[in-house]
Structure 1
Amino acid sequence: MREHFEEKYFKLGLCIFAAGAGIILFFFIVKDIDVIGKAIADFNSILTPFIIGLVMAYLLCPLYNWVTRNVYHLTCEQVKPRHAFIFAKVIASIVSMIFLLAIMAGICALLLPQIIKSIIAIIEILPGRMNDLTAWLTDTLGNSRYPKLADNVDSAIQSIYDYLMKWINAHILPGVGSYIAKISEGVILTLKTFLNIIIGIVVCVYFLNSKEKFKAETKKTVIATFRKDKADAIFDFGNFINRTFGGFINGKIIDSIIIGFICYFFMMLFNWPYPALISTIIGVTNIIPFFGPFIGAIPTSIIICVINPITAGEFIIFVFCLQQFDGNILGPKILGGTTGLASFWVMFAIILGGGMFGFIGMILGVPVFAIIYHYFKLLVEKRLEKKGCPYETADYEEFNKYDINRKDIRKK
């Protein structure tokens, strides 16, 4: 009895101590939030090469597994199985790295000349387009029946021009030194990013060849820490996350590559300017569900508009048709039911993820929300089942306001 009493108060004291320590820790976190934020940012900067390497390895994992499996089965009869497995992993690593470097080199070779060419063209053409616009406005308004309107437009254009010149003299020219410093910082950041990518490639190779060991160590730790039912639930959770993220991300990459090639084909067919650059932008932004093609259409249509405004209008119509094809035909065929989310929740996840985490949030918001939605749905259905209530959503739909019987609607 006494031992039970002491154990009870020991647990109570331990809970009080933990609560007090948590309150003190929370106070210092709030007090030094800027310092903690900087420490987290520095920590993330240190881990950037590892994050890049893990992302590369995750994306290359299907290719690596496929090569390993096929090479092993081709060589296992000629040599010992262990040696065949090691040889297969070496070949798979080489093939994966060649594939990765070929993609990176191809993107650089494809984009850099097009970007430089586009910038030079814009610099050369833009002044002439502005002169054409000014001449058109002058001719149109000068020959109009409203001379006062023409004078007001001329004065407005002059005011805008004067304001821009004053703003340039006040803000741009005095800060030339700071711009040079920022350019230097940009060069350093570019070199640092290049170094992080190189380290990331090394991390990627190590992770691809050691992923079975990492998985085994994680599994061993979970089994040693939790009860069997809890461990099984954790493994099911991990498998579900892998299926959701892997299916969605790999599917969107394949879908975006196809959309990029379709865009390139039609741009070459219609002889529109900068097909490689614009198709790449459309393909990359298409990774963002729903809004991706429209986000890519904004800068690309501006680039085309500098060359030919009519072509830019035609291109916008083409992008709208391309988005409809992707959203209603191609995307569902490739992705299938990967996320299991309705269109409304897909849009909600994109907006929420983009608002909180930017571009990365727009891409990963859908699979993350799909996981949350899935487990919340399981929780609700389990509680309904305990209460003896139906758990199908259709059983709770009502059409009384339309004077329609729900059973009639649901009849097949």
Structure 2
Amino acid sequence: MPDRSESLERWRRVLTVSWALVGVLILAAASVFALVRISPALVPFGLALVIVFLLRTPVAALERRRLKRGAAVAVCYLAILAALAVLGLFIVPPLVDQVRQFLGAFPGYYDRVLDLWGQVQRQYSAVAWPSWLDDALVGIRDGLAEQLASWSANLAKTLFSVGGGAVSFLLNVFLALVVAFWLLKDMEVIKREFVALAGPKRRDEASIVIGKVSTVLSGYLRGQAIVSATTAVIVTIGFTVLGVPYALVLGLLAGALNIVPWFGPLVAEVISAIAAAFVSPWLALWAVLVVIGAQQITDMFITPRVMSEQVDLHPVLVIFSLLTGAALAGIVGMVLAIPVAAIAKGLFVYYFEKWTDSSLATENGALFRSAVPCETDDRSAMTDEER
């Protein structure tokens, strides 16, 4: 009888966990559906969270210098406004001019690509191609021509509607700055309230989970911003020295595309090579080498220092997360794949070690290597009540 009762109890627990998982999946699906429906209204809040995670470290540093939290946030905002003023005076005017020139030269690129294809076709017309290869090349040519025409039409539509999009973007940025200010100012209070929602028995666990998630997200965003900015600066300087057309535009594009791992730098190399190829084939090669060199410099010297301690993922997990993110949500999924995977790995390791009372992550591990312990911003910052 005892064995039978233990077996029934075990099956009861299994069924309870199974139904709980089904409920969680249903709740997750409903949440995703709701988020998709209201996603336009959430844009300023998403931007606000990015601002919060980027500024929480400098705000905490100013707080340690005995500034009140509101004053620390105001100082960071003044620094941002000063940086935007400098960009508006010295970076934006030449950037706008180069973008205008680049868009004006786009139809010429299209015509020259077709002329180049015609020259290659005439030069090798005497070669006895297999019929299937000739058909394939003709199909590729027609497909490229159709795709380029489609891109040109879409580009024209985008430029025609860019005014309304710019107004909407500026409005979202303004709302994001307002929301981020209040979130940063009351961050400690909001964190205590979220921890309190877990109940007295779960407060320590909730505090640890919130700390892990916020540490990974803030570390990833800060690191990605530094890596992208460094890539943009190196590429812009290199292209300017080499004489690559539209160096500033291509440099900023390389920095922005660096957010998408692997695929982004490859696209930047192709675009840069096309822009430089119409000056000289050797310049196209040098342009590709500059982008690759900038990527290697950031990967070897910048990324390990600013991201490894916060987002410590094995290459196998990185590849799996990128492919999964791309399959689920395309480019957006690839951008979000690494921080989501890092958070999931950190929570899995925490709960596994808690439930099994054993160590899984080690400093010399592979899939479950532990990050270097560091003091988080939340521990070092003091609230006004604590002072």
Shorter-chain TM-score above 0.5: yes
Could you report, residue by residue, the CA deviation over 1:329-354 in whole angstroms, capped at 9, with x for unpaired residues? 43213323322221121222222223
Q: Indicate how the Cα distance of structure 1 residues 39 and 155 shifts in structure 2: closer, same or farther if over 3 A, else same.
A: closer
Contact kept in structure 2, 1:126 and 1:306, CA below 8 Å: no
- Counterpart of 1:252 in 2: which secondary structure? helix
Deviations 1:79-119 (A, max 9, x none): xxxxx766555444433444456557876445432222112
CA offset digits 1:353-383 (Å, max 9, x no partner) = 2332333332332122122223323444556
The equivalent of 1:218 in structure 2 is 194
In structure 1, the partner of 2:370 is none
Alignment partners' CA distance in 2, 1:385 and 1:160: 59
Q: Secondary structure at the match of 1:341?
A: coil
Which residue does the alignment assign to 1:253? Answer: 225
- The residue identity in structure 1 corresponding to 2:228 is S
Give the percent of matched residue pairs that are identical in Structure 1 and Structure 2. Answer: 19
* Structure 1 position 49 matched with structure 2 position 25: no
Q: Is contact 1:93-1:208 (8 Å) kept?
A: no
Cα gap change, 1:93 to 1:69, in 2 (>3 Å): farther
Question: What residue number does 1:264 align with?
Answer: 236
Q: How many residues align?
A: 344
In structure 1, list runs of 5 or more residues that go unmatched: 1-15, 74-83, 397-412
Aligned position for 1:77: none
Shift of 1:42: 4.0
1:134 partner amino acid:
G
Query: Within the alignment, does 1:325 sit opposite 2:297 as a pair?
Result: yes
Per-residue deviation at 1:276?
Answer: 0.8
Cα pair 2:258 2:264 within 8 Å, conserved: yes
Q: CA deviation at 1:126?
A: 4.1
Measure how far apart 1:235 and its partner are: 0.3
| Structure having greater relative contact order (Cα 8 Å, sep ≥ 6) | 2
Alignment-derived partner of residue 247 in structure 2: 275
Distance 1:121 1:252 in 2: 32
Residue 283 (structure 2) aligned to one of 311, 334, 337: 311
Kept after mapping to 2: 8 A contact 1:68/1:92:
no
> Which of 51, 55, 78 is residue 94 of structure 1 equivalent to?
78
Displacement after TM superposition at 1:233 (Å): 0.7
Task: Quote the Cα distance in structure 2 between the aligned partners of 1:235 and 1:88.
Answer: 24
* 2:257 aligned with 1:285: yes
- Work out whether residues 349 and 369 of structure 1, in 8 Å CA contact, stay in contact via their aligned partners in 2: yes
Q: What is the Cα deviation at residue 39 of structure 1?
A: 5.9
More helix by share: 1
Could you tell me how far apart the structure 1 residues matched to 2:316 and 2:244 are? 35
Corresponding residue of 1:127 = 111
Counterpart of 1:242 in structure 2 is 214
CA contact (8 A) 2:213 2:343 kept: yes
Distance 2:63 2:77 in 1: 9
Amino acid at match of 2:52: A
Give distance in 2, aligned partners of 1:271 and 1:136: 27
Contact 1:340 1:370 in 2 (8 A): yes
Distance apart, 1:297 and its partner CA: 1.9
1:299 aligns with 2:294: no
* Higher radius of gyration, 1 or 2: 1
Counterpart of 1:61 in structure 2 is: 56
- Aligned counterparts of 2:173 and 2:44: Cα–Cα separation in 1: 6
CA 1:183/1:307 → structure 2, altered by over 3 Å: closer, same or farther? same
In the alignment, what sits opposite 1:372? 344
Which of 308, 319, 337 lines up with 1:336 in the alignment? 308
Tell me the TM-score normalized by structure 1: 0.66
Residue 191 of structure 1: aligned partner? 167
**Greater Cα offset, 195-204 or 104-113:** 104-113
Aligned-residue offset at 1:66: 3.8
The alignment's TM-score, normalised by the length of structure 2, stands at 0.69
Displacement of 1:274 after TM fit?
A: 1.8
CA 39–366 in structure 1, closer or farther in 2 if over 3 Å, else same: closer
Per-residue displacement from partner, 1:36-64 (whole Å, max 9, x unpaired)? 98864342212222222232233233334
Shift of 1:232: 0.3
User: Could you tell me which amino acid in structure 2 is paired with residue 248 of structure 1?
Assistant: Y
In structure 1, distance between residues paired with 2:365 and 2:177 = 52
1:113 corresponds to 2:97: yes
**Aligned partners of 1:49 and 1:197 also within 8 Å:** yes
Is the 1:49–1:199 Cα contact (8 Å) retained in structure 2?
yes
Residue 125 of structure 1 contacts residue 307 of structure 1 at CA under 8 Å; is this kept in 2?
Answer: no
Stretch deviating more after TM superposition (103-112 or 324-333) = 103-112
